[in-house]
Amino acid sequence: SIHPSIHPSTYIDIYAHTHTHTHTYIYIYIYIYIYIFKYREMLDSNKDSLKLEAMKRIVAMIARGKNASDLFPAVVKNVACKNIEVKKLVYVYLVRYAEEQQDLALLSISTFQRGLKDPNQLIRASALRVLSSIRVTIIVPIMMLAIKEAASDMSPYVRKTAAHAIPKLYSLDPEQKDQLIEVIEKLLADKTTLVAGSVVMAFEEVCPERIDLIHKNYRKLCNLLIDVEEWGQVVIINMLTRYARTQFLNPNINVNEDEDEDEEEKEKKPYVMDPDHRLLLRNTKPLLQSRNAAVVMAVAQLYFHLAPKAEVGVIAKALVRLLRSHSEVQFVVLQNVATMTIKRRGMFEPYLKSFYIRSTDPTQIKVLKLEVLTNLANETNISTILREFQTYIKSMDKDFVAATIQAIGRCATNIGEVRDTCLNGLVQLLSNRDELVVAESVVVIKKLLQMQPEKHSDIIKHMAKLTDNIQVPMARASILWLIGEYCEHVPKIAPDVLRKMAKSFTNEEDIVKLQIINLAAKLYLTNSKQTKLLTQYVLNLAKYDQNYDIRDRARFIRQLIVPTEKSGALSKYAKKLFLALKPAPVLESPFKDRDHFQLGSLSHLLNAKAGGYQELPDWPETAPDPSVRNVEVKESVRAVGTEEERKQERKSKKSKKPKSESESNSEEDEESESDSSPSESEESEAEVKKKKKVHLQRSNVSKHKHKVIAMTMSCPVFLTLQTISPSSALKNFELLHRITGEGLSVDYCFSRQPFSPDANMVAVQMQFTNNGAADTKNLHIEDVKLQSGMRVKEFPEIELLPAGETATAVLGIDFCDSTQAANFQLCTHAKKFFVSIQPPVGELMRPVFLTENEFKKEQGQLMGMNEIAEKLTLDAKCRNEHAIVQRVTAAANLSRVPPVPPPDHPVHRFAGRTVTSSSLVLVTVATKEEGAAQLTVNCEKMVIGTMLVKDILLALTQ
């Protein structure tokens, strides 16, 4: 990486020692000059044209995947540029790097707040996007206020951006959920198509369980669906699929009823489709013609899960059309088609030829098409499909050939008429030159012979002769199992096979050895005269084998089949154990039962529940009340208006006298409130009063907010007094393991949030998970045992924690600036568990803001015994500013002191106070050349200082 403070000549000298070609490092020199110094000069210029050109090039670099983070200080200075084009590009850059360079981004937060009031809608949206990209918990109130205002913005583009910001804020601070739900409810009422998809995505991320929010907007979403942008359509369709499964009855409820049922009884419970159910199916059907494959797939899964059986067939043609697309799209579509063909085979039968395999298809596509063809096979088309399979066996792709042989076996299992034909064809493959083809054929033949072994003794004899040639372990094991299982059909050949296997026993694979032992045991029980000595010989060899499974199997079988005085009662039942009739295997599709996952989802693709997956609800037994959707949707939160209306509004604003900032802003709030609400003549008196009350509260909030903005504008550093906080991810600790807790597991983390009931306590966030089958009740804390002076503020009792559910609670602990553990009992209605929480020393402090001069002044007063200094060598990945800040703030809850323009060897400073005694803690990391550095900690409490040095040293060097 290239540091702006290091001159290019330094890099040239380094490069010259490792590269002999002169022209190579000349090119490097030119690149470095253009990249760092030329761009910085252009960004520092007074000409907007140069700034614009520099920003265009920088954004183009980012689009190509280049790292432009070194230019952050130069770019962020232009955030207040008056040129709109430059400002747009600066915001694009900041969205990309705001999370990495949080400290510098925080210093410009007042500019972002001013951007939220910009006349240009793109600037307002970009400012909100940057603000929501700064992942610092302290600015959550500012973000929340910005989102609420943007949700009432005149521009639908800004409202859409507000919807995008909601999940970001929720992931940063889940405690804001209730307020965010209010904003989501407001945006769901928006009538513009630009907002619909984004707000539904926010709904899915924040509160998918609040199905009541969708009731009054259901019909509007169905009608808007055709005009929403493509990815919004996907999100809305997936959400409405789950909604419909909870609100409507199963349209196929009477399809599989017994035919013997009386006609009168059938008439008692006829199915009548809900008009809203029909509305959803009717409005999504045209989207099967969409050019976006994801939209087509979303509609297909909706029809598969919601439509009557007679109507599902319309999706087949659309899905077959997608098979002409890229291989990635084909893979996903074929995965879903393979699932559909298990239950709805008839809808794809007319398109059988579309699933024929081309030689140019990738292997995974070939295997999936093979799966679909196998699922579609029936008595009518099996001859055609088997002819295709004969061609596929000649392929050079061995994995595909193996899958084809398995498919032939499945067809033979499912369709009895062609079983003999398939079996004979597989037997012919036993003479194939390719060993893998022969091996796979043996495995499939073994499964088919289990169905009718008495008719195919000749095939078993033929396979017995292959033991000399086949070397694949699974195939050899399959042949041995087959001979042992049906040894009475080949009484002359089986002992000879055992003799050959005994000779090569020590050189065989473990899976083959186990089958040799099984074969010996079965022959001993059925033909002991010929095989007694051979069996003893094999058991003796197995007794000293290196694999303990084989040794154990040999001991077990010896005691079972060779009767001695010590033999137990089981030896009497040896024949019943070894020679019992075994059911024939059922060759099933790997896609069977996969439809319990919602089609088109990642979980369905992986056949495993992915993070964030929401289960597809079961159909209700009785239809919920349909009147909940009869609520008349009100006008959108703020009408967009025509261009003429906007011009008139601007003119009226200009004609007004200038007012103070707080007055004008509150007046704007009044205007927005009046625009968004219906006329008073249409409302009741109570509603008008309620509106006025809400408006009064809002104007007060607005005044308070603008007061904060005014302060930050006059002094940009002032805001960081409350907003700078560590950006590191919180570390989770295990308090109670699910095995120790008999199904209850507890994790905790130090949330680094102020504990509101008592500022002198450390907030410990605890997460309870009930992994058991029974509900957990009355979860609380008892018998708290603390060191002298320590205090605990217990969380309220959790009355019920259902099986499989998770609950959170916050515990406040005053550790008295000590790392001594807090011991207590975690109690449920049936059990008590002794647990303890021991804090890392870095969690015993809270961040505090100091300027550089204040830091140096306080450091000068904490010298001598209050100062601990250690030299260290930074880890290779920790030699840049961002990494140092991340690791120090991860080790200790400190805030960064805003840096001045860095010298040749930057110094990083951090400050905080202990939670209980408010003792100052100052940390300095001074970096030097080649990774050398010095760590200095100044603290009134020497014990804390010593422990903190060890933790930070470990963080910076590991």
Which tens digit of pLDDT belongs to each residue from 348-405? Answer: 988 888 999 988 889 899 999 999 998 998 888 888 888 888 888 888 888 888 888 8
Classify 126 in phi/psi space as left (phi over 0), alpha (psi -120 to 50) or beta: alpha
- C-alpha distances in Å from residue 192, one per residue of 210, 221, 415, 442: 22, 10, 55, 63
pLDDT at 624: 86
Higher-confidence residue of 27 and 530: namely 530
- 532 burial level (CB within 10 Å; 0-12, 13-18, 19+): middle
pLDDT in tens, 585-607: 666 777 777 777 888 888 888 88
pLDDT at 459: 76
Q: Coil, helix or strand for 822?
A: strand
Confidence of residue 727 (pLDDT cuts 50, 70, 90): very low
CA atoms within 13 A on the CB side of 752: 31
Say which DSSP state 34 is in.
I
Q: Extract the tokens encoding 879.
A: 């030699």
Mean pLDDT of 501-506: 88
Residue for token digits 């760590």? 935
In terms of average pLDDT, the best of 59-63, 551-555, 587-591, 613-617 is 551-555
Q: How far apart are CA 905 and CA 927, in angstroms?
A: 6
Give φ, ψ of 928 to 5 degrees.
-125, -165
Question: 550 pLDDT exceeds 80?
Answer: yes
pLDDT at 369: 92
Choose among 567, 511, 505: nearest CA to 534: 505
Domain locations in the chain as residue ranges: 25-237, 326-452, 454-579, 732-839, 843-957
Choose among 126, 101, 105: nearest CA to 115: 126
Domains 25-237 and 326-452 share a fold: yes
Mean pLDDT of 50-75: 79
Q: Coil, helix or strand for 290?
A: coil
> C-alpha angle 191/193/199, rounded to 5°?
80
CB of 825 closer than 8 Å to CB of 779: no
Give the orientation angle of helix 22-32 with respect to helix 8-18, to 10 degrees: 160
pLDDT at 13: 56
- C-alpha distances in Å from residue 838, one per residue of 620, 735, 812, 824: 49, 10, 13, 12
Strands 822-827 and 798-801: unpaired
CATH class of 732-839: mainly beta
CB of 242 closer than 8 Å to CB of 614: yes
CATH, range 25-237? 1.25.10.10
What's domain 326-452's superfamily in CATH?
Leucine-rich Repeat Variant (1.25.10.10)
Q: Extract the tokens encoding 810.
A: 């916050």
pLDDT at 924: 94
pLDDT at 726: 40
Instruction: Count other Cβ atoms within 10 Å, centred on residue 769.
Output: 19
CB of 617 closer than 8 Å to CB of 242: yes
pLDDT at 19: 52
Q: Extract the tokens encoding 707.
A: 């007061």
CATH class of 843-957: alpha beta
Higher-confidence residue of 662 and 331: namely 331
pLDDT at 281: 93
Per-residue burial over 98-125, b if 16 or more Cβ lie within 10 Å, else e, is: bebbbbbbbbbbbbbbbbbeeeebbbbb
Element (H, E) at 199: helix 193-206
Q: How far apart are CA 314 and CA 310, in angstroms?
A: 9
Instruction: Enumerate residues 6+ apart whose C-beta is below 8 A from 531.
Output: 495, 498, 520, 523, 524
Q: How far apart are CA 443 and CA 473, in angstroms?
A: 11
Question: 236 pLDDT exceeds 80?
Answer: yes
pLDDT at 585: 64
Q: Which amino acid is at 609?
A: K
Q: Extract the tokens encoding 786.
A: 């603390």
SS3 sequence, 872-915?
A: EECCHHHCCHHHHHHHHHHHCCCEECCCCCCCCCCEEEEEEEEC
Q: Which amino acid is at 929?
A: E
Task: Give the dihedral sign, CA 43/49/52/57.
Answer: negative
